[in-house]
Amino acid sequence: MKVYSATDIGQIRKMNQDFIFVSSEPVGNLPNLFVVADGMGGHNAGDYASRYGVSVLTDTIREDQNFNPVKIMRAGIEAANKAVLAKSQSDPGLKGMGSTMVVATIVGGYLFVANVGDSRLYLAGTEFRQITHDHSLIAEMVRLGELTPEEGQNHPDRNIITRAIGTTEEVKIDFFDVKLETGDCFMMCSDGLYNMVESSVIYKVLRDHDVQDRAEKLVELANAGGGLDNIAVVVVDPYETEELNPLPDDTELQDTQSGAGELFPDNTAGEDVPEQEIPAEFDSKGDITAEESAEDENEFQAQPETGRN
């Protein structure tokens, strides 16, 4: 397995609120773990939300006795949601903070994905596919036919998300599974990448094995495109080694023609559940005042900022 990861403050922001965690080694009962989180909230509240959320997620996963990757990821995200919400409610300086979170693990030739918010996971194989669904106001309007994808791309409300970690008591999570084929790789990223770089360009970089570090190259392209937001990228090429971990007997899968199936979002298989709408102050690019209170999480494999202010 080959893993590339990078995060950058971008050209405009004063603080990097994106946070990543990568491990090709076991984390608890998961054989590997990859996370991208994009915090929201003014000053350092968004930075704290993403870091603290990932800290709680990984600690919970390490202690989880389950072997089903879906159950493990669900428990970790739910714990992160409760912890970030509690901090937000107990500290006036952190009020209104939250974070997106996309989590992935490879087990037995399958990629399992959990998602809350508008950070994304793409699969790059014989074609380039977005596996996750954006939980954003504009994505919902596009799905309802109220906007075309082209209109949504530059819409002034494109930064408003409808789900996030730490904003409501209960978090609704989307789960997906993808059967990996030889030659597939996948990329996880915050909106600071896909809003700056065309999908066709991202796909070309991911398939170009002559690029020594595909994550750093994508960050470079996002900054060249304007760098209007923080940028986080994780690229995983699972077939650097031939052996795959065995698939647990109790793993729940849903096969579809596309190869990616959404798994019972938040215990609601087959049910229509309304979106958890987030008030305007939860705009992921909002400027909510918060006091300095972020703590260092030295054990996490986050990439440092590159110093662009």
Q: Of all helices (H) and strands (E), which one includes residue 62?
A: helix 45-63
**What's residue 59's pLDDT?**
98
- Cα(49)–Cα(166) distance, integer angstroms: 8
Tokens of 191: 């909106």
CB 17 within 8 A of CB 43: no
**What's residue 161's pLDDT?**
83
- Cα(222)–Cα(232) distance, integer angstroms: 10
Tokens of 307: 């110093």
- Cα(63)–Cα(274) distance, integer angstroms: 32
Q: Of all helices (H) and strands (E), which one includes residue 207?
A: helix 199-207
Specify the 3-state DSSP secondary structure of 189.
Answer: strand
Angle at 114 between CA 235 and CA 160, to 5 degrees: 90
**Where do the structural domains in the chain lie, given as residue ranges?**
2-268
Structure letter (DSSP) for residue 93:
G
Tokens of 148: 């075309």
How far CA 27 is from CA of 62, 162, 222, in Å, comes to 6, 30, 31
Tokens of 133: 């669904």
**What's residue 20's pLDDT?**
98
Structure letter (DSSP) for residue 221:
H
Q: What is the DSSP string of 9-26?
A: -TTT-SS--EEEEEESS-
Q: What are residue 57's phi and psi, to 5 degrees? A: -55, -50
3-state secondary structure 150-183: HHHHCCCCCCCECCCECCCCCCCCEEEEEECCCC
Task: Kindly report the number of other CB atoms within 10 A of residue 267's CB atom.
Answer: 11
- Cα(97)–Cα(229) distance, integer angstroms: 17
Which residue in the block uniquely carries the two structure tokens 């309007």? 141
What is the domain class of 2-268 according to CATH?
A: alpha beta
Structure letter (DSSP) for residue 34:
E
- Expressed in angstroms, the distance from the first to the final Cα of the chain is 34
**Burial of 193: CB neighbours in 10 Å, binned 0-12, 13-18, 19+:** buried
**What's residue 144's pLDDT?**
60
pLDDT tens-place values along the chain, 309 residues long = 999 999 999 999 999 999 999 999 999 999 999 999 999 987 679 999 999 999 999 999 999 999 999 999 999 999 999 999 999 999 999 999 999 999 999 999 999 999 999 999 999 999 999 999 998 776 666 666 756 666 556 666 566 788 999 999 999 999 999 999 999 999 999 999 999 999 999 999 999 988 889 999 999 999 999 999 999 999 999 987 545 556 666 555 433 323 333 333 333 332 333 333 333 333 443 332 233 333 333 333 333 332 222
